[in-house]
């Protein structure tokens, strides 16, 4: 059932650049000029046109999101969002939640029905995966409750270990929702 938000979330393990979804989300930095980690992988797979599009947009503040075409990717769009550098302060969770909500809002505005997120901020930016998973899933649930156009949100994790953390997080939220 489309209204059951838990049926609209899914966990997958792998490389986000390989996904044939309407949009993949990039864990970018404020310059939007590419970088390492998932950002580097997305730019390599999408080709130089992606950087051209990002240059036209300019900078993106932390917590906000911007959209470009997917260029050479199978995904139609790339949504670039900038996660917080982990500091251990409450502001981290607010900014990370904003990344998910702003990305989902932009996706819905552009007719996206399937979207995949990497574990934003959980690499170079140092956010502990168990804390980030809670924020990511909570923000996504909150968004999906008020939206019916997005059919599937994939949390695309790079390791089985991270996927297990997300699985537990979703399970415990589903239990407390029942």
9, 104 Cβ separation under 8 angstroms: no
Q: Give the burial class of 123: count Cβ atoms within 10 A of its Cβ; 0-12 exposed, 13-18 middle, 19 or more buried.
A: middle
Residue choice 121, 131, 144, 165 for contact with ligand AR6 (CB under 6 A): 121
Closest approach of ligand AR6 to the CB of residue 107, in Å: 17
Using CB under 6 A as the binding rule, whether residue 139 contacts ligand AR6 is answered as no
Residue 100 touching ligand AR6 (CB under 6 A):
no
Residue with tokens 């000029």: 33
CB-hemisphere CA count at 13 Å for 16? 34
Interatomic CA distance for residues 134 and 146, integer angstroms: 19
36 lies in the site for ligand AR6, by CB under 6 A: yes
Stated as kind and residue range, the H or E segment containing 168 is: helix 160-177
- In the residue annotation, 39 being an active-site residue is answered as yes
Judged by CB under 6 A, the residue of 77, 100, 117, 125 near ligand AR6 is: 125
Query: Which residue of the set 7, 15, 22, 39 is catalytic?
Result: 39
The least distance separating ligand AR6 from the CB of residue 127, rounded to whole angstroms, comes to 7
Known catalytic residues are 39
Enumerate binding residues for ligand AR6 (CB under 6 A): 15-17, 27-29, 35-39, 41, 83, 118-125, 156, 158, 162
């Amino acid at each position: 059932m489309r209204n059951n938000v838990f049926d609209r979330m899914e966990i997958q393990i792998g490389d986000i650049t390989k996904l044939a979804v309407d949009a993949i989300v990039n864990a970018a930095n404020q310059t939007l000029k590419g970088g390492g980690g998932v950002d580097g992988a997305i730019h390599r797979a999408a080709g130089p046109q992606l950087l051209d599009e990002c240059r036209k947009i300019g900078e993106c503040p932390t917590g906000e999101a911007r959209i470009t075409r997917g260029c050479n990717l199978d995904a139609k769009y790339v949504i670039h969002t900038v996660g917080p550098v982990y500091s251990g302060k409450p502001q981290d969770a607010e900014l990370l939640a904003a990344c998910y909500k702003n990305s989902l809002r932009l996706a819905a505005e552009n007719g996206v029905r399937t979207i995949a997120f990497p574990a934003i901020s959980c690499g170079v930016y140092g956010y502990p995966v168990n804390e980030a998973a809670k924020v990511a899933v909570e923000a996504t649930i909150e968004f999906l409750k008020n939206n019916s156009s997005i059919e599937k949100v994939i949390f695309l994790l790079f390791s089985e270990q991270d996927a297990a953390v997300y699985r537990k997080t979703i399970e415990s939220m589903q239990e407390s929702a029942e």
